[in-house]
Structures are given as structure tokens and as C-alpha cells.
Amino acid sequence: MKCPLCGHLDDKVIESRQNISGTSLRRRRECLACGYRFTSYERIEEIPLMVVKSDGRREPFDVKKIERGLVRALEKRPVSQVEIEELLNQLEDEAAMEGKANHEIPSKTIGELVMKKLETVDKVAYVRFASVYKRFGSVDEFIKEIEKLK
């Protein structure tokens, strides 16, 4: 790498350190010409998770959509914002796990993950979500339908 001080292109790596989650690597380098020490970083380029809808179209996974669905289903239910945040974190992780093989997840699978969560958290919200979701088959349609009811 090019020395930031003298512009020389040869250096040696003195030290390599990985972060705890293993997603980035930091290297301490020393310029072979002037001895100046500098740091370079390597990061994993993340491939976005894509949601495959029932009609075959794909769109990037968006946790905000799940949040809107959850907030609608949990309206006036005794579930705090903190609990909703926690649910969203779990759902995001679970969706990433489900889709890790090819960076794709069917929207149907997301709906099922949401239903499983709601079933353990709040039965009323579960029934609200499930009754509409099962009829319409996607979180998007669920949100649209619930919005019409208001």
C-alpha cells in the first residue's frame, strides 16, 4: 500500500488484528522506505438479503416493513416499544439465518417467522396478524389491509 507520508509503494505488515465478530481486519503497516507506520482496514462486503415475493419479484429485505406490520398488529396491546425493538432484532437475525445460503428469503417465510413470534408474545396480536396475513400472503398486503380498516 502507498505510504501516506512518502508515497512509497512497499511496506511490511507488522500486526494483523481481527475484530470480535470477525467482520473486519486491521493491519499495522510499516513503510519500507521511510519507516512510517500506518493502518489499513479490510471489511467484508455484505451481500444484501433479498425478499422473494409470491409473484416472484424481489426486493431488498427491509426491517421497517416488518416493524409496520408488528406495530399494527400490536396496536393498543400491552407490549412496550422496547419489546417490539427486541422482536425486530430477533426477526432480523432469524431472517438472515434463513436466507444465508443464497441471500434470499421468501416473503412467506418472513410472515411465518413473525407469526411464530407474535404467538409467544401476544395472542390477540397473533390472531390479528394471522387472520389477515393468511388471507393475503404477504406482510405488505397485511399492512394495506389493516390500513383500510382504520
Residues of the shown chain interacting with Zn ion in the complex, contacts defined by CB under 5 A: 3, 5-6, 8, 31, 33-34, 36
Torsion of CA 118, 119, 122, 124, to 10 degrees: 100
- Cα angle 59, 62, 65 (rounded to 5 degrees) comes to 110
In degrees and rounded to multiples of 5, residue 13 shows phi and psi of: -85, 125
Query: Shortest distance, CB of residue 41 to Zn ion, whole angstroms?
Result: 19
Query: Shortest distance, CB of residue 88 to Zn ion, whole angstroms?
Result: 48
Q: Which residue lies nearer to Zn ion by CB, 33 or 44?
A: 33
Bridge-partner residues for 51, per DSSP?
A: 59, 105
In degrees and rounded to multiples of 5, residue 30 shows phi and psi of: -130, 125
The amino acid at 115: M
Query: Shortest distance, CB of residue 17 to Zn ion, whole angstroms?
Result: 22
Query: Shortest distance, CB of residue 84 to Zn ion, whole angstroms?
Result: 52
Q: Which residue lies nearer to Zn ion by CB, 34 or 44?
A: 34
Q: Are strands 58-60 and 50-52 parallel, antiparallel or unpaired?
A: antiparallel
Q: Which residue lies nearer to Zn ion by CB, 37 or 108?
A: 37
Q: Which residue lies nearer to Zn ion by CB, 32 or 97?
A: 32
Q: How far apart are CA 13 and CA 33, in angstroms?
A: 14
Q: Which residue lies nearer to Zn ion by CB, 33 or 47?
A: 33
Query: Shortest distance, CB of residue 14 to Zn ion, whole angstroms?
Result: 14
